[in-house]
């Protein structure tokens, strides 16, 4: 058995108006046999499921040790960092402000793209775009007595209703990305990368933390959480899956903390061992693994935040949330897409420029039967 993947190159990334794009994750490392975990064509060096789960385990371990880093810290990415610094300097000193606008638009495009790829929320929830002037009502497809709504970017609450529609409250997701003149003049390299990480923390991480609060609020209404005293086993996974399917809903996605991966890797029931088979169907594109998409187990897709920088992670060790598809779980009512507004404080006596980013939305989880959780005890 051999695993072939589509090469991941700059040609696969969205076109950007500026000189260089934010490639969220990259790097390389050697296995214990001194063989690269993947080759230049983007193919994992693995001949079986067991070996591929070993490669993923090695990647997780390397990332935790700092050997697999974000793109801008790699030596091979320094040229791009220089280009981004040049873009920033040129835009910052543009008297028309037009180049700062273009740079802000680029940052927003990248934040949205990475949020969709690496964030949990846009995988678990459906999105309903709301035209201006409308209230964003959501049709309730399941006869339940309780739903969970977001009341702000950091809080949720349970609501009861008897109608066919629910109108989630609207809240803001905001980020201030500001730069001082002295930073641009003295040390421009790395500023854009740091601002991008700050933007992810303010937007994607805030959204994902809120979604975990949703999952915790739903958990236990119908499904009592499972305690895992030792290793994750196929029996526990099957119980989680049947807990969703028992209500007539498919189990679509499992949000899983990275510390369960050694359990999957060590179990021949999951991987099939050297002879093949097993319940696990691995992702073979290393770029997808770096984005936290590890494969499917018994037909359920696994996502994790293992490859995020520490400040961007939202899961604690020992957490698994099995979740039904978005049309079962709930909806984000998107009243305003992420929008950049230029900031120039020099006319107020402050040597600062940048952008204020704003997104306006509501969020509802309409079906408590759509979540089943397990926690290591």
Question: So what's the pLDDT on residue 54?
Answer: 85
Q: Is 300 exposed, middle or buried (0-12, 13-18, 19+ CB in 10 A)?
A: buried
Whether 205 is covered by a domain: the verdict is: yes
- For the chain, the farthest-separated pair of C-alpha atoms sits apart, in whole angstroms, at 70
Residue 108 is assigned to a structural domain of this protein: yes
What's the domain count of the chain? 1
Mark 161-174 as b/e (b = at least 16 C-beta within 10 Å): eeeeebebebbebe
pTM over 0.85: yes
Q: Is residue 315 part of a domain?
A: yes
Tell me what percent of the residues of the chain surpass a pLDDT of 90: 62
Model pLDDT for residues 289-315, shown as the tens digit of each residue: 888 999 999 999 999 999 999 999 999
Residue range 268-287, pLDDT digits in tens = 888 886 666 689 888 777 88
In tens, the pLDDT along 11-61 reads 333 333 333 444 444 444 555 555 666 667 666 777 788 888 888 888 888
C-alpha to C-alpha distance for 240 and 80, rounded to whole angstroms: 44
Is residue 1 domain-resident? no
Instruction: Dump pLDDT digits (tens) for 319-353.
Output: 999 999 999 999 999 999 999 999 999 989 999 99
Residue 236 CA to residue 347 CA, distance in Å, equals: 61
pLDDT at 26: 46
What is the predicted pLDDT for the residue at 206?
98
CB burial class (10 A; 0-12, 13-18, 19+) of residue 235? exposed
Residue of 374 and 37 predicted with greater confidence: 374
Q: Provide mean pLDDT across the span 194-223.
A: 95
Average pLDDT, the chain: 85
pLDDT of residue 274: 64
Residue 41, pLDDT score: 64
Q: What is the pLDDT of residues 348-368, one digit of tens each?
A: 999 999 999 999 999 999 999
Angle, alpha carbons 128-131-137 (nearest 5°): 55
Domain span at 316: 10-376
- At residue 372, the pLDDT reads 97
**C-alpha–C-alpha distance, residues 306 and 235, integer Å:** 24
Query: Is 272 within the bounds of a domain?
Result: yes
DSSP-assigned letter for residue 33: T
The answer to whether residues 354 and 176 touch, using CB atoms and an 8 Å cutoff, is yes
Residue 3 lies in a domain: no
Please tell me the predicted confidence (pLDDT) of residue 322. 97
């Amino acid at each position: 058995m051999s695993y072939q993947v589509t090469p991941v190159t700059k040609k696969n990334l969205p076109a950007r108006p500026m000189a260089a794009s934010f490639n969220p994750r990259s790097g390389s490392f050697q296995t214990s046999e001194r063989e690269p975990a993947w080759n230049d064509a983007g193919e994992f060096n693995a001949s079986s499921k067991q070996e591929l789960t070993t490669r993923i385990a090695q990647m997780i371990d390397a990332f935790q040790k700092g050997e697999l880093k974000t793109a801008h810290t790699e030596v091979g990415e320094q040229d791009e960092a220089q280009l981004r610094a040049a873009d920033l300097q040129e835009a910052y000193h543009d008297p028309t402000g037009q180049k700062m606008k273009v740079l802000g638009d680029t940052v927003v495009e990248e934040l949205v793209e990475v949020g969709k790829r690496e964030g949990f929320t846009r995988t678990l929830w459906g999105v309903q775009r709301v035209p201006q002037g409308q209230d964003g009502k959501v049709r309730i497809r399941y006869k339940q007595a309780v739903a969970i709504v977001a009341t702000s970017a950091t809080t949720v609450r349970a609501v009861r209703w008897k109608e066919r529609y629910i109108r989630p409250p609207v809240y803001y997701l905001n980020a201030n990305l500001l730069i001082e003149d002295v930073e641009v003049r003295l040390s421009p390299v790395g500023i854009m990368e740091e601002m991008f990480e700050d933007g992810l923390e303010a937007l994607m991480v805030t959204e994902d933390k809120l979604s975990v609060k949703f999952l915790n609020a739903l958990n236990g209404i119908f499904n009592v959480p499972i305690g895992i005293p030792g290793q994750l086993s196929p029996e526990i996974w099957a119980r989680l899956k049947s807990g969703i399917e028992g209500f007539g809903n498919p189990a679509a996605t499992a949000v899983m903390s990275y510390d369960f991966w050694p359990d999957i890797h060590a179990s021949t029931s999951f991987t099939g061992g050297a002879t093949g088979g097993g319940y696990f169907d691995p992702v073979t594109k290393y770029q997808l693994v770096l984005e936290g998409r590890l494969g499917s187990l018994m037909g359920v897709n696994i996502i994790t935040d293992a490859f995020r920088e520490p400040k961007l992670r939202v899961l604690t060790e020992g957490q698994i949330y099995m979740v039904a598809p978005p049309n079962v779980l709930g909806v984000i009512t998107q009243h305003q897409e992420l929008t950049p507004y230029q900031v120039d404080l020099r006319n107020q006596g402050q040597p600062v420029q940048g952008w204020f980013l704003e997104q306006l939305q509501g969020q509802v989880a309409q079906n408590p039967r759509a979540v089943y959780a397990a926690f290591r005890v």
